Amino acid sequence: MRSAKRSPLSNVPGSVQIDEKILAFLRELPKVELHAHLNGCLNINSIRELAATVYGKETDEFLMLSKRFLTFKKGANLDDCFEKFSFVHDLTASKVGLQRATELVIRDFAKDNVIYLELRTTPKSNANMSRRDYLQTVLECISRARSRYSMKVKLLPSINRGEPVSVSEETVALSVDFCKLYPDIIVGIDFSGNPNKGNFEEFMPALTLARKHGLMLAIHCAEIPNRSEIKQMLMFGMSRCGHGTYLTSADYAYMKQHNIAVECCLTSNIKSGTVESLQYHHIKRLIEAEVPRVLCTDDSGVFDTTLSNEFYLATEAFGLTQTQCIDLTMEAIDHAFASCEEKQNLKIQLDAFISQMTVKDNRVHKTKRYIEKKTCE
């Protein structure tokens, strides 16, 4: 897998040396991914495989478009990032392409030793399929791939704030219907899209309906400094917060009090221009304030990263130890939209990994005892 072997420090100016021992540990660590958009998680090699499925061959034009998909100019912003998705959307505009894309994304996360994955995707309607067809295709593919790769995969249908409210209402209605058929796969709703578009208040009735039917809410919040919207979102409530870049210290206290985890995506925030550099990433403040937080990739293909690489960046920039990386994984399990039994099984897998570690210091043993004592809430 190309992105797994690529230097995780390629986006950090001034970084030249890789600690291969730490990187090896992180690649072996069983990981939990809670913030991954399906169409944004196709890495360059998988895109080429997808193109071969959809078009039958790779043309020079396609190879050029693939390269541009991963290229970020200096000073890129969120709008530039969202423009890139149209390229992948064309590849997944048919059932065949969508099915293959879903398979490839799950395969690539499995290669990075992700044992639990929550995928997000906005149901799309075009000449080839309806939004119902779109969701059905993704769900069927997840059902097959989960057993093949021995990993738990969940789905959060996404509401795109840049689309009409009527589309969000249809997305929630479809999610509620499919949740009856796939109760162990559809576990929540994602609210996302370009934060410069749409009015959150207009989508609140659809989100309220989803919550009424037992679906968890993962809301992209505080991606941009829109203070009135941030307050509105926090008052409305959420199960997890996507990005949280512009949350204040008062917001941190609220998140801590209500046990709302912030989904931190280091490379994504840097490349999209919402964070100046890794050293200034807000995960440092979240750690200091003891706010619930998890490490995620967001769009691992678009931003050319892996979850292992995101952990490595955190160890380099903020001095996270192996034990702290294990604790972050434990925290991700606790905040996953998984069942009580699934969380316990994930902790057992993580505990088995710890037991097999060759270096057993007191900190590792302390983490192991914590796992053994942790009860299912």
pLDDT at residue 363, rounded to an integer: 47
pLDDT at residue 197, rounded to an integer: 96
Instruction: Decide: 1 and 42 in contact? Cβ < 8 Å.
Output: no
Return the higher-pLDDT residue of 10 and 233.
233
**Banded model confidence at residue 4, pLDDT cuts 50, 70, 90:** very low
Residue 7 confidence (pLDDT) above 80: no
d(CA 142, CA 85): 21
Residue 133 confidence (pLDDT) above 50: yes
Q: What is the mean pLDDT of residues 1-28?
A: 69
Q: What is the mean pLDDT of residues 1-14?
A: 51
**64-68, 92-96, 183-187, range with greatest mean pLDDT:** 183-187
Strand order in the sheet with 261-264: 31-37, 114-121, 152-160, 188-192, 216-221, 240-243, 261-264, 293-295
pLDDT at residue 376, rounded to an integer: 56
d(CA 138, CA 116): 17
CATH class of 2-373: alpha beta
Q: What is the mean pLDDT of residues 224-251?
A: 98
Instruction: Decide: 236 and 260 in contact? Cβ < 8 Å.
Output: no
**Banded model confidence at residue 2, pLDDT cuts 50, 70, 90:** very low
pLDDT at residue 170, rounded to an integer: 98
Least confident of 49-58, 125-134, 183-192, 196-205: 49-58
**Banded model confidence at residue 62, pLDDT cuts 50, 70, 90:** low
For residue range 299-335, what is the model confidence (pLDDT) as tens digits? 999 899 999 999 999 999 999 999 999 999 999 999 9
Residue 236 burial (CB count, 10 A): 18
Residue 328 burial (CB count, 10 A): 21
Residue 377 confidence (pLDDT) above 60: no
**Banded model confidence at residue 264, pLDDT cuts 50, 70, 90:** very high
What residues have CB less than 8 Å from 211, skipping those under 6 apart? Answer: 217, 237
Residue 256 confidence (pLDDT) above 50: yes
Catalytic residue among 103, 223, 229, 263: 223
Q: Give the residue extent of every domain in the chain.
A: 2-373
Return the higher-pLDDT residue of 191 and 64.
191
Instruction: Decide: 240 and 260 in contact? Cβ < 8 Å.
Output: yes
pLDDT at residue 365, rounded to an integer: 45
For residue range 159-168, what is the model confidence (pLDDT) as tens digits? 999 999 999 9
For residue range 46-61, what is the model confidence (pLDDT) as tens digits? 988 888 888 776 666 5
Residue 253 confidence (pLDDT) above 80: yes
Q: What is the mean pLDDT of residues 226-230?
A: 98
Residue 362 confidence (pLDDT) above 60: no
163 is catalytic: no
pLDDT at residue 90, rounded to an integer: 81
For residue range 106-130, what is the model confidence (pLDDT) as tens digits? 999 999 999 999 999 999 999 999 9
Residue 373 confidence (pLDDT) above 70: no
Tell me the pTM: 0.90
d(CA 212, CA 218): 15
Residue 39 confidence (pLDDT) above 50: yes
